[in-house]
Structure 1
Amino acid sequence: MKTIYFAGGCFWGMEAFIKKLPGVKETAVGYANGTKANPTYEEVCSHTTGHAETVRVVYDPSQITLEMLLKAFFKVVDPTELNRQGGDVGEQYRNGIYYTDEEDRKTIEAAIRAVREKYDQPVVTECRKLVCFYDAEEYHQDYLDKNPTGYCHINLLDAEEFIEEEMGERTRC
């Protein structure tokens, strides 16, 4: 198994989207790359901790590659938006990809370069080594499973479309 961390706005939608992908074995939402140990949601939202709402993704590389995960990430993130995604605004909603395996850095940087070619505006997606990750409170974990009508800036039907188009698997009848 391998692990990668995605920050793409509100972590509820990113988690719900990513965990639909074949080969993703486990997800958890939390706070990454800030300055305060074990922050609360309220502290992160106060803009004093520097953390980004982030999803830890554990995946089986024999079933889904990092390249495919990055392609999925960029399907639902606007990489030109600084400190916002959808209606969510603030540094905790920045978009970034955080790695623990130095080997992954080159793959991430190549994906970001490829995305830059598609936009006239600067791409602001972070590519950084993971410094820290703290699990969010339990009520945030699998939030949209527990609250199917909850807020989400990501169209979750994009996951089925992505799987069908990019991975050649049908997920709908």
Structure 2
Amino acid sequence: MAHKTELPSRDRALKGREEKMVVADKHAVNGNPTVEPFPVGMETIMFGMGCFWGAERLFWQLSRVFSTQVGYAGGFTPNPNYHEVCSGMRQQNDHGTQYRSAIYTSNPAQQELSMKSKVAFQQALDKKGHSLITTEIREGQQFYYAEDYHQQYLKKVPNGYCGLKGTGVSCPIGAGKDEL
């Protein structure tokens, strides 16, 4: 059996389900669509940054972000629910492999920029004495919506828990407020 800090293998993963999670059609913060199809020319990218509530709120502040959705990616279980992805890993008060950091890109240009930013950010972190970046960066992962109550949670529950703290170190690539 896999340790609770490791993802299960494909053959040990939960079966999941064919039915997609039902979420609101409109974003609670900006009113834009939350489900595809998105407008022509829009790109999608997935960021795993620990608790998805606080990470999602960061993206609301960027003018070039059309819509945000929280969910699950990087595993083998189709359309999982929150309890199915829980495990024993930890970031602050958050526990489980679902809180690991990841960037899942949707095209080669995003992949290249993500890899370059990882190198540049690691150099900045090294100067401040931080450890190595462990963020997984892969192209072409499937996204599964989390339950609707998780979507734009900190808009719906303004005083809700958010353990997102960061390092205090800025990445020298795309450091502007509206750059991704």
- Could you state the TM-score of these two structures normalised by the residue count of structure 2? 0.63
Show the counterpart of 2:84: 43
**Distance in 1 between the 2:177 and 2:125 partners?**
24
SS in 2 for 1:6: strand
State whether structure 2 residue 152 is matched by structure 1 residue 142.
yes
Q: Which among 132, 144, 147 is matched to residue 142 of structure 2?
A: 132
- Could you state the TM-score of these two structures normalised by the residue count of structure 1? 0.66
Show the counterpart of 1:85: 91
Who wins on radius of gyration, i.e. which is larger? 2
Q: CA deviation at 1:131?
A: 2.0
**Distance in 2 between the 1:140 and 1:94 partners?**
18
Q: CA deviation at 1:167?
A: 3.9
**Distance in 1 between the 2:124 and 2:96 partners?**
25
Show the counterpart of 1:56: none
Q: Which among 11, 14, 34 is matched to residue 55 of structure 2?
A: 14
Higher strand share: 1
Preserved CA contact (<8 Å) 2:87 2:97: no
Preserved CA contact (<8 Å) 1:28 1:135: yes
Q: Deviations over 1:96-150 (max 9, x none)?
A: 1110112211110000000111234211111111321100011000100000010
User: What pairs up with 1:21-36 in 2 under 5 angstroms?
Assistant: 21-36=62-77
Show the counterpart of 2:106: 100
**Distance in 2 between the 1:153 and 1:144 partners?**
12
Q: Which runs of 4+ in 1 moved over 6 A?
A: none
**Distance in 2 between the 1:101 and 1:45 partners?**
29
Q: CA deviation at 1:44?
A: 0.7
Q: Deviations over 1:68-104 (max 9, x none)?
A: xxxxxxxxxxxxxxx5433223211011111011221
Preserved CA contact (<8 Å) 1:32 1:130: no
Show the counterpart of 2:7: none
Show the counterpart of 1:70: none
The answer to which of 142-151 and 119-128 deviates more is 119-128
Matched to 1:103, the amino acid is A
**Distance in 1 between the 2:106 and 2:143 partners?**
11
Q: Which runs of 5+ in 2 are unaligned?
A: 1-41, 169-174
**Distance in 2 between the 1:108 and 1:153 partners?**
24
Instruction: Classify 1:130/1:88 alpha carbon distance in 2 versus 1 (closer, same or farther; 3 Å).
Output: farther
Q: Deviations over 1:143-163 (max 9, x none)?
A: 0000001000136xx9xxxxx
Preserved CA contact (<8 Å) 1:28 1:141: yes
Alignment identity in percent? 42
